[in-house]
Structure 1
Amino acid sequence: MTARSNLGALTGAADPEDIAIGELLAALDGAADLPLVFSYDGRNVKPGYHVTEVKVGRFEALDCGANPESWTEIFIQLWDVNEDRSHMPAGKFVKIIGKVIEHVALDGSAKLTFEVSDGERPMQLHRAALPRIEDGQVRVALSPRPASCKPRDRWLQEQKSCSAPAGAQPCCG
């Protein structure tokens, strides 16, 4: 499968602005030789960026409605530095994640969060959009990870799945 067809195959992602680790890896499959360029805060990461950590977090919590919650999240830390080299090829990024998979079980549907810092500014949390090929590069736009209210998010998801008129009370369970 070519890089272009893999990237196109993911247009049905649950949230194309907040993809899971499995969606990212699937999109990069077949684009191994292309430079992988992340962008955030209106700019590209510098060509010498490093993947400094890949962490798996398994969380147990209570949400604001006192509902128990549990989820797995993958954190990929990018150190945005400039070194005398070009952007990392997508295949090298996939190999780095592959080394993590050898030691830690990764759930392909796990929430994906990028931690980005240039080593001077504080670490910022970002979500990743679906990758796209542009000008011979695989480009991944990162945007700030917003806070959310899980009960409200569930209610909104239920509303999308039913046909209640706007402003009506929840129509689903």
Structure 2
Amino acid sequence: MNNSDPMNWQAFKNTLVENPDKVLQFQYAEDLYVDASYHITEIKQAPIVSVDCGGVMNSWTEVILQLWEPSIAETDRAMKVSKALSIMNLVEKSLPLNPLGIVKIEFGNSRFDTRQMYPSEFISEGDRFTVKLTADYTQCKAITRGGSCGITPAGEECCSPADKMVAPLKQNLVLETIGEQNQSCTPGGGCC
């Protein structure tokens, strides 16, 4: 599987169910894997409610699987997919997880800052099942609607190219005298 859209919790679990006897690995960067002795420390469900820069309310749910590497690797311990599924099922007995919630994997260690990543690809080779992770990203929701942020003049998009955004700002620019040579700071002059 290789998909640019975020995966939902049910699809993630269904993919794991197809590979119960394999060792479950997570690849968080090129040639970097979470140590095989990792623990699944918790599964969080986060209902998100936001208002974007155009004043539009958005809501969605994220299901976040947190991984932790022990400071001393347990060389005889590698998590099988079946063990990960049993942890997920145990969590769901107490906390029913939204099957349509967006899946994120949270991980960090001494060489990699903790962050939330998306499962982006699954690779089944021999006795291993690898989940490749890709970084989370920010986006402007108003740009996909062709909308305005509410801070720009009516009808102007917040995500317009920079040259379109500079014109309204120039109208309100106050020029200040700088230095002893009485030079003015002007847009594009390089002094600001």
Q: TM-score range by the shorter chain?
A: 0.7 to 0.9
Q: Write the mapping of 1:23-172 to structure 2, written as runs, cut at 5 A.
A: 23-42=11-30, 43-81=32-70, 82-118=73-109, 121-153=112-144
Counterpart code for 1:34: K
After superposing the two structures, state which structure 1 stretch, 21-30 or 130-139, moved more: 130-139
The CA deviation at 1:98 is: 0.8
CA contact (8 A) 1:47 1:88 kept: yes
Cα-Cα RMSD:
2.1
Once the 2 structures are TM-superposed, how far is the Cα of residue 33 of structure 1 from its aligned partner? 1.0
Give the whole-Å Cα distance in 1 for the aligned partners of 2:79 and 2:130.
Answer: 12
Q: Distance in 1 between matches of 2:79 and 2:106?
A: 17
Secondary structure at the residue paired with 1:66? Answer: coil
Distance 1:136 1:48 in 2: 16
Q: Which runs of 5+ in 1 are unaligned?
A: 1-10, 156-173
Letter in 1 for 2:96: A
SS in 1 for 2:25: strand
Distance 1:121 1:141, change over 3 A: closer
Asked if 1 retains the 8 angstrom alpha-carbon contact of 2:21 and 2:127, the reply is: no
For these two proteins, the number of residue pairs brought into alignment is: 143
Q: Specify which structure has the bigger relative contact order, considering alpha-carbon pairs within 8 angstroms and separated by 6 or more residues.
A: 1
CA shift digits 1:69-89 (9 cap, x unpaired): 111111111113422224210
Distance, in Å, in 1 between the alignment partners of 2:145 and 2:136 is: 18
The answer to whether the 8 Å contact 1:20/1:109 transfers is yes
Using a 3 Å threshold, how does the CA distance of structure 1 residues 80 and 113 change in structure 2: closer, same or farther?
A: same
CA contact (8 A) 2:103 2:119 kept: yes
Identical-residue share of aligned pairs (%): 24
Residue of structure 1 in register with 2:157 after alignment: none
TM-score normalized by the length of structure 2: 0.67
**Which region of structure 1 is more displaced relative to structure 2, 16-25 or 135-144?**
16-25
Q: What one-letter code is carried by the residue in structure 2 that aligns with 1:68? A: M
CA 1:121–1:139 in 2, change beyond 3 Å: closer, same or farther?
closer
What is the CA distance between 1:154 and its match in structure 2? 5.9
Could you list the structure 1 runs, at least 4 aligned residues long, displaced by more than 6 angstroms after superposition.
none
Report SS of the residue matched to 1:93.
Answer: helix
Relative to the length of structure 1, the TM-score reads: 0.74
Higher Cα Rg: structure 1 or 2? Answer: 2
Question: Which residue in 1 is equivalent to 2:173?
Answer: none
Shift of 1:112: 1.0
Whole-Å separation in 2 of the counterparts to 1:130 and 1:105: 26
Q: Structure 1: how far apart are the matches of 2:121 and 2:5?
A: 6
- Which ranges of structure 2 fall in alignment gaps of 5 or more residues? 147-192
Mark the CA change 1:112 to 1:34 in structure 2 (over 3 Å): closer, same or farther. Answer: same
Distance 2:85 2:4 in 1: 20
